[in-house]
Amino acid sequence: MNIETSFTLFERCLRCMSGLLQDMKFYPDNHPTIRKNTGLLMEQLFQYFKLKDELQFTVIENEIIYENKPRVELSESLSLFISCISGKKISRITFLKTLPERELAEFCKILLGTDRFPKHGISWNHYLKSEGIHHISCDFLSVGVQEATELEQTTGPIPEDIFQQGLEKLNELNEAMLSGKKMDYDYLFHIVNYLTPQVLNHYEELIYLGTVKAHNEYTMEHMMNVAILTALLGAALGLSRAVLDELCVAALLHDIGKTAIPTVIIDKPEKLTEEEWKVMQTHSFEGAKKIFLEGRFPEMATIVALEHHLNYDGSGYPSLYRERPLSLASRIVTITDFYDALRGTRVYCGEMPPEEVYRMMQDLKGKKFDPQLLDIFFQTIGVYPPGIEVELNTKEIAIVVKADRNDIFRPIVKIITDKAGSQVPAPFSVALTERDEKDFIRSIVRSIPPIQTADKK
């Protein structure tokens, strides 16, 4: 199948639907204009369904993703259509091949309506079926890695090996840039080729590596962590292997401009002066320039290096005249970069507990961060990521094993000490979502800092 042809037909379908929604705001259901434009949309869908059995796309805030690729130009011209979908808190829509015209018209009315939004606790699909719509499915973006058919399983080093090999190569690149030598990026692409399939093969281990490894926020560990977290979030969004590869390259290089910043500023334990802060802010532009001049990286890497300190509300640095919203890749890396910087051991303060990181990032939701992407990010890793030790309200100590996507505050944990503080002979796993007849059986009181954990052991 010709992807360009399918995209052309997809674009026509969405433009017809956007026009129909616009007309439905002014004309009654039986108006000739509505009947005519509904027929035009059905004809475009008929042509599309000659190629594929279903039409599916995703909307993340103001960006349309089709065939696993962001479609920026299309997104910019369909603001009404996107606002209708976002306003109903829908992220993914699927039209089936046998969609009848009546169901299509009814669905469009639901998108425009203000009194037909599903009640709390009722899924979109259940609601649509109750309205007699069986050939359209809508849901909030499901969080999870793709099937093996999309991200092929690749044999290779275990995640810890990948992490260490990536660090070695990044340090070599860092030294080359500082000394002005020509850089050899071949191994960097080699690392990326292993890293993205591991999102599928070793999902939980990668969350652990990307969230609990101690580091200074300006070291190569930070860049590797950001790449891992970015790959996990990209996979949760359903992005293709090719786009994930580009995302990983962009994440690995997002802070490369800091090699142009004097080490006395990078390593300064006190708050930077106004002049020093101005110098620090130049790293975004310097990084983008280095990547661009190298000439062998995807455009996404240059864009992310330039934009990763620009905020969702338009604030941040560097000051740019932007005719379009921040790229999806930049909005992703802004989240993963900030998260890892807070979780790392910074030169001016210690590691921040994960629950405090969550609260701080929630306070910046809609300001610094894309709200929808931030929600998906924490659904992916949880408030308490794997490997974190926590104290429970039962006085037991446990290690977080896996996030629960239905309740980000209640992961699956492994109990390692009992109520009396004694080590459990055979540690066992429990889901913190378990309840008795009155309330949850166990709840997290606080996370335990790594230093405290080390002392305790």
Q: DSSP string of 270-322?
A: SPPPHHHHHHHHTHHHHHHHHHHHH--S-HHHHHHHHHTTB-TTS-BSS----
Higher pLDDT residue, 232 or 275?
Answer: 275
By percentage, how much of the chain surpasses pLDDT 90? 31
User: Has residue 265 got a pLDDT over 50?
Assistant: yes
Average pLDDT of span 245-256: 86
Superfamily of domain 159-378: Hypothetical protein af1432 (1.10.3210.10)
User: Has residue 55 got a pLDDT over 90?
Assistant: yes
Sign of the alpha-carbon dihedral angle for 293, 297, 299, 301? negative
Across 168-265, where does the E strand assignment appear? none
User: Has residue 210 got a pLDDT over 60?
Assistant: no
Confidence category of residue 452, pLDDT binned at 50, 70, 90? very low
User: Has residue 187 got a pLDDT over 80?
Assistant: no
Confidence category of residue 195, pLDDT binned at 50, 70, 90? low
Higher pLDDT residue, 141 or 20?
Answer: 20
Higher pLDDT residue, 213 or 7?
Answer: 7
Across 33-144, where does the E strand assignment appear? 54-60, 63-66, 69-70, 92-96, 136-139
Beta bridge partners of 389: 399
User: Has residue 134 got a pLDDT over 80?
Assistant: yes
User: Has residue 207 got a pLDDT over 70?
Assistant: no
User: Has residue 413 got a pLDDT over 90?
Assistant: yes
How high is the pLDDT of residue 87?
73
- Tokens (6 digits) for 237: 């969004």
How does the average pLDDT of the chain come out, rounded? 79
User: Has residue 388 got a pLDDT over 70?
Assistant: yes
Q: Which of the 8 DSSP states describes residue 100?
A: -
Confidence category of residue 320, pLDDT binned at 50, 70, 90? confident
How high is the pLDDT of residue 336?
94
How high is the pLDDT of residue 157?
42
167 CA to centre of own chain? 23
Contact at 8 Å (CB) between 410 and 440? Answer: yes
Instruction: Name the pTM for this structure.
Output: 0.67
What phi-psi label fits residue 92: left (phi over 0), alpha (psi between -120 and 50 degrees) or beta?
beta
Mean pLDDT is highest, among 19-23, 66-70, 279-283, for 279-283
By percentage, how much of the chain surpasses pLDDT 70? 73
User: Has residue 238 got a pLDDT over 90?
Assistant: no
Average pLDDT of span 1-29: 81
User: Has residue 295 got a pLDDT over 90?
Assistant: no
Average pLDDT of span 413-418: 93
Burial 406-425 (b: 16+ CB within 10 A, else e): eebbbbbbebebeeeeeeee
Higher pLDDT residue, 115 or 418?
Answer: 418
User: Has residue 136 got a pLDDT over 60?
Assistant: yes
- Tokens (6 digits) for 49: 């369904």
- 140-149, 321-330, 337-346, 425-434, range with the lowest pLDDT: 140-149
How high is the pLDDT of residue 194?
61
The helix/strand/coil state of 184 is: coil
Q: Where are the domains positioned within the chain?
A: 3-139, 159-378, 389-456
The helix/strand/coil state of 83 is: helix
Q: What are phi and psi of 236, to 5 degrees?
A: -65, -30
Residue type, 13: C
